[in-house]
Amino acid sequence: MIHKITFFTVLLVCQVATAQHVSKDSVRMKLHKEMIISEKTPNFLPSISGTNIYAGKKSEVIQMNQLDADLSSNNYRQIMAKVPGVSIWESDGSGIQTSVATRGLSPNRSWELNVRQNGYDISSEAYGYPEAYYTPPTEALEKIEVVRGAASLQYGTQFGGLFNYVTKKSLGNKTFTFETQQTIGNYGLFNAYNAIGGKIKKFSYYAYLHHRSADGWRQNSQYKTTTGHISLTYAFSEKINVTLEYTHMDFLSQQPGGLTDAMFITDPQQSVRARNWFSTPWNSTTLNVDYLINNSTKLNLKIFNTYAQRNSIGYLKDIFVADSLNGNYYNNRQVDRDWYNNLGSELRFLKEYKLFGQKSAFSSGLRAYLGKTTRKQAGTGSVNSDFDLDIISQQNSIYGSFDYKKDLHLSTKNAAIFAENMFQLSKRWNVTPGVRAELINSSVSGTIDKPVVGVSLNVPEQKRSVILMGIGTEFKTTNNTNLYANFSQAFRPVTFSELTPAATTDSIDQNLRDAKGYNVDFGYRGSLKNLVTFDIGVFYLFYDNRIGTISTNGKNLKTNIGSSVSQGIESYVELDCFKLFTTENTLGSLKLFTNVALIDARYTRWDDPAAVADKTKDFSGNFVENAPRNINRFGLTYKYNRFSFTFQYNQVGEIFTDALNTELPNAKATIGKIDAYDVMDVSGTYLINGKYNIKAGVNNLTDESYATRRSGGYPGPGLLPANGRTFFLSIGAKF
């Protein structure tokens, strides 16, 4: 196995050579006209883009047509290979749902990130339940934009920053263009992406239909997903563009559930749950208006709606509890359902103006949002094995019949205003202060635990206002390099699950506070003589008012339990080795990259002494759960004419899965340390006549057995393995 030290050694040699040759003229290698993989990946967001200001913020842009990666299964381990510090849960081998995080935060369905598509919300409920159940097929994306914690001023929640999927808007300037990518792989993988697009005078359009299905690497892990999207744009004039978008996704996924650690060692592909299913029908609509008032003034309006569901049915008892009686009669399963109906709008304004002879810019925005969620949980389902949401009504002599133990109505109202100003103080130096004001009202009503109490639940409406401030700066050391620094306050609102008692014996602290804190960035980025592309920085994330449960006198109180700090290094360096020695392209291009993140995420205050037997022990200093201490990714890409080949090596450190830093797994396998792991991937692309492509690859080349998370409930308690070795073969065309 190639060890990471080998990569460091090679990179060090190349960097020494760079220092010796940096004074020589470097000519950009001329790529073959059919080559689709660019030499510039990742890119950084410009200081001003549209109505947004990114000066002084740590950012990355992943251009999808520049990647040599497995897009057919949304392999984010490969897609995010050059973005430092991204933690990825790989327990969903289908690629349907993405769980990523940065800086030691929890990757759980990306809920610590502000996840958007084309700039508008796509999470279940942006404030009350910010989980990302919808992930677009990456073959349909133009790029992914990532902004770290400094995104909090422009976008509000969360601590992790912005994760924005940007879909294609057209497929070129022709009247009609068609593209297709058809992929097969082992374990029954079939992936089909077909799209049309074009421009007709002032009208442009793009639409795709995507389908993916497979039996799955693990037992009982079959899935199928279908996604459709249409984008229609009309230019009423040179100043006004209007775009209407609609996205629909429907998937059904069988959930194999968790394993004990012993079962995982014996056979990570096994499953003891065959009747757990998950589905999230998803609909998202948006109207986008761009108005160029004049050459220095822009206006953007987005009105968006999400109408979606979350449906699950399964047997969620502990692993060692059998799912059958006498070998053929199954227990009743549990049905949980959510319905989301969210409506929001954002109006953004940008004005460029002259100050001290330089071009400065002012950006501001208004946001209004209403999120409504209907949650019905703990219904008694059928004894069948297929996806079946039918409910068996329960009878109670006092309270009559009921379908669900929990029947809740949850609502969030939000209004916000923000402003940032980039003061360009000289040709090389700018400073950008900003402020954001949020008003958030959350309410919960309904009934809970009907068979036990059957009384109404009314949590007092949570009303709060939040003021966030920040400042960033950027100094151009050369035309292609700059120093950047940023301080931005952040917050994470109290979610619905934190406002809702888990049982009738639980209570909610009436003074429950939103989590607050701040992000600090400092770094150096850019390119040197077209030989080296880099972004090397340090960060500090303070996360206060973390929410948890304190047990006293047999009752649980949901309250704020402490604070944590994440700090470390995020570094990315990419080197074009052949350019060090020659300007000719006879040998093609060989690029090496290293992506190293060192993360120290620890609790700094612990206010929950009742959670441990030893009441006198201070648990401040414990590692934050699900936070690897190192996330390292290395690789090389070789390109010659129409052919490209990429090798990637991923090394991720061990994690604790609970705040008490429990080393050994418990019997349920819901807590306990998860070991570090190493994974290698290879992929290649060959282009034919500028219209066709053949792609192939092997994921997890050495068939490593590893896991990235444990679950305490759905999709089944226990250790959740990641996929072993899989391969894919893809053929595509564009006309």
pLDDT tens digit string along 523-569? 999 999 889 999 999 999 999 988 876 655 556 677 788 899 999 99
Q: What is the pLDDT of residues 104-133, one digit of tens each?
A: 999 999 999 999 999 999 999 988 899 999
pLDDT at 734 over 90: yes
In this prediction, residue 607 has a pLDDT band, given cuts at 50, 70 and 90, of confident
In this prediction, residue 399 has a pLDDT band, given cuts at 50, 70 and 90, of low
Q: What is the pLDDT of residue 42?
A: 59
Residue 579: give its domain's CATH number. Answer: 2.40.170.20
Q: What is the pLDDT of residue 446?
A: 86
Q: What percent of the chain has pLDDT over 90?
A: 70
Q: Cis peptide leading into 269, omega within 30 of 0?
A: no
Q: What is the pLDDT of residue 10?
A: 36
pLDDT at 379 over 50: yes
Are 464 and 443 spatial neighbours (Cβ–Cβ below 8 Å)?
Answer: no
CA-to-CA dists, residue 148 to 54, 153, 154, 302, 462, angstroms: 11, 11, 12, 23, 28
In this prediction, residue 97 has a pLDDT band, given cuts at 50, 70 and 90, of confident
**The pair of three-digit structure tokens given for residue 415, joined into one six-digit string:** 């209004």
The average confidence (pLDDT) of the chain is 88
Which of 78-82, 393-397, 660-664 has the highest mean predicted lDDT (pLDDT)? 78-82
Cα of 79 vs its chain's centroid, Å:
12
Average pLDDT over every residue of 182-202: 96
Q: Cis peptide leading into 256, omega within 30 of 0?
A: no
pLDDT at 40 over 60: no
In this prediction, residue 313 has a pLDDT band, given cuts at 50, 70 and 90, of very high
**The pair of three-digit structure tokens given for residue 3, joined into one six-digit string:** 């060890």
Q: What is the pLDDT of residues 424-474, one digit of tens each?
A: 999 999 999 999 999 999 888 888 776 554 455 666 677 889 999 999 999
pLDDT at 730 over 70: yes
The b/e string for 543-561 (b: 16+ C-beta within 10 A; e otherwise) is bbbbbbebeeeeebbbbbb
pLDDT at 660 over 80: yes
pLDDT at 305 over 60: yes
Per the listing, tokens 């030499």 go with 39
In this prediction, residue 394 has a pLDDT band, given cuts at 50, 70 and 90, of confident
pLDDT at 487 over 70: yes
Closest CA to 558 of 495, 489, 468: 495
CA-to-CA dists, residue 67 to 36, 142, 565, 730, angstroms: 9, 11, 34, 14
pLDDT at 369 over 70: yes
Q: What is the pLDDT of residues 315-356, one digit of tens each?
A: 988 888 888 776 676 789 999 999 999 999 999 999 999 998
In this prediction, residue 24 has a pLDDT band, given cuts at 50, 70 and 90, of very low
CA–CA separation, 337 and 145 (whole Å): 32
pLDDT at 671 over 80: yes
The dihedral formed by the CA atoms of 620, 621, 622 and 623, expressed in degrees to the nearest 10 = 130
CA–CA separation, 180 and 139 (whole Å): 10
Q: What is the pLDDT of residue 173?
A: 87
Average pLDDT over every residue of 147-158: 88
pLDDT at 382 over 80: yes
Domain that holds residue 511: 4-734
Please provide residue 147's backbone torsions phi and psi, each rounded to the nearest 5 degrees: -125, 130
Average pLDDT over every residue of 269-286: 95
Q: What is the pLDDT of residue 73?
A: 92
Q: What is the pLDDT of residue 584?
A: 72
In this prediction, residue 579 has a pLDDT band, given cuts at 50, 70 and 90, of confident
Three-class SS state of 641: coil
pLDDT at 599 over 80: yes
For the chain, the domain total comes to 1
Q: What percent of the chain has pLDDT over 70?
A: 88
Average pLDDT over every residue of 226-234: 97
Q: What is the pLDDT of residue 30?
A: 33
Specify the higher pLDDT residue, 589 or 558. Answer: 589
